[in-house]
Structure formats: C-alpha cells, structure tokens
C-alpha cells in the first residue's frame, strides 16, 4: 500500500487480500535522517499504525504490516492491531520465517495484540495454528 513513509499515521484500517505481494502495509522501512540528512539533529518517526487489522484468509508474501531495517531512532508505533487466525504470512517457500511483529525491528509496542499461534511450515509458507 505504502512504499516509504515519514511521520505517517495510519488508523482504522482492515487489510484483506487473496494474495498481497510484499508486506501488508509498508513496503520499505529504511533509515531516514530527516530533511537535513543529519542524524544528530534528530530523525523522524517512520509510521504510527493504530487500530489496524489483517483479517480473513489474507495471504501476504513477506511480512505482515512492514519489513526492512532502519535506525533504532526511526520509530514505529503499533497500537491496538491484530492478525487474524486464518492469515498466512510469508507465502513463498523460499522465504524465511517472517512474523507479524518483525522481531528484528526496533519499535514501540502499545497494546499490540498478536494471537499466540504455534507456527507450522506449509507448502505455501508459515501459517498460524492454535
């Protein structure tokens, strides 16, 4: 949906699709030094995601809401978000075990709801199972 963001806010969104190529919401989470290009003057937040849900039998080929690498100062705030039990994330067999919460990312979690599924390998990637 979004390629790059700076100080973006996304609220009240349900994401659903038969097959979403890439990440579900933000394609590139990358280092952003701001308008002046200087790290020491402060860097902008990347995105705030509030009350957004990946629902239905959605299939996302990479990460759930976003993926990538950036500075620990380029914050991501996720609040009151969820991933449905029938959602499949990381659908291509040759991809790694992507997760909804992007454990490698540095972000602020507030009221983040991730269903506690056991993950299993399927012919089309990783899927949640109770």
pLDDT tens digits, one per residue of 22-49: 999 999 999 999 999 998 888 999 999 9
Q: Is the dihedral of CA 86, 99, 8, 28 positive or negative?
A: negative
Q: How many residues does the chain have?
A: 130
How far is 16 from 18, CA to CA, in rounded Å?
7
8 Å CB contact between 52 and 11: yes
How far is 92 from 50, CA to CA, in rounded Å?
28
pTM for the complete prediction? 0.72
pLDDT tens digits, one per residue of 66-95: 988 887 788 899 999 999 988 888 875 445
């Amino acid at each position: 949906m979004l390629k790059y963001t700076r100080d973006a806010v996304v609220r009240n969104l349900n994401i659903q699709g038969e097959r979403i190529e890439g990440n579900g919401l933000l394609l590139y989470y990358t280092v952003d030094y701001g308008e002046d290009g200087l790290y020491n003057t402060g860097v902008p937040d990347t995105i705030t995601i509030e009350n957004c849900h990946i629902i239905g039998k959605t299939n996302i080929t990479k990460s759930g809401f976003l993926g990538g690498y950036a500075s620990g100062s380029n914050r991501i705030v996720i609040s009151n978000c969820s991933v449905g039990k029938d959602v499949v994330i990381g659908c291509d067999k040759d991809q790694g075990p992507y997760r909804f919460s992007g454990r490698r990312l540095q972000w602020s979690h507030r009221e983040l709801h991730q269903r506690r599924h056991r993950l299993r390998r399927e012919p089309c990637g990783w899927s949640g199972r109770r």
